[in-house]
Amino acid sequence: MAGDKPEGGEVPLLYSEGNVAARVALEREVREWSTTELAERVTRAGVKMNQTAVWRIENGTPRRRINLDEALAFSRVFELPLEELMSPPLEGLDIASRRLVQEAVEAFYETRDARDRLHRAVVAIADHIKAHPDRSRAIHEQCLRLMGDERDARTLSNDIADGGHY
C-alpha cells in the first residue's frame, strides 16, 4: 500500500500531505511571513484559519491534517499551482537562495505587467493622435515635461509614433 514502509526504509511519495506541510513552512519563511500573517492571508483567501493551525501544520506532533480547501487556499496565497505545493521541496536550495529566486520571479512578473501596461497606454495615445492629429505636438511636449529626461521622452515619443511599445 502507498505510504507503507518496506524493510529498506520509507517509500518516497511524489505528493503527500507531509510535502504540503513542508512547503507551507518553506514558502512562509521565504516570504518572511509570520504564522499569524499566513493565517490571515489564508482567511482572506476564503478559508478560516488561525496562527495555531499554521503552527500545528508545520510543527505539530502529530501534524495537523490539511483539508483540500486549505490546500487550495495555501496554493492561492503562495501563488503556486496545487501540484507544485504538493511536490517535495527542491533539494540544494536554502532559504536565502529561495528568497533570491522569489524576488527575481516577482520582479519578472511586475516588469512584464508594467511593459504590457505601457504598451496599452502607448497604443491608446497613438490611436488618440490618429483621431486628433492636431494634438500630436502638445502630447509629445507633455511627455517631455512629465518625464524630464529628453532621451526617455524621445523613446516614448518614438514608441507612440510606431503605434506600440513592442
CB 160 within 8 A of CB 122: yes
CA 85 from centroid of its chain's CA atoms: 13
Amino acid identity, position 12: P
pLDDT value, residue 65:
93
pLDDT value, residue 134:
96
Closest CA to 128 of 147, 143, 113, 149: 143
Per-block mean pLDDT, blocks of 10 residues, the chain (166 long)? 43 68 92 96 97 96 93 94 85 81 91 96 96 94 92 93 86
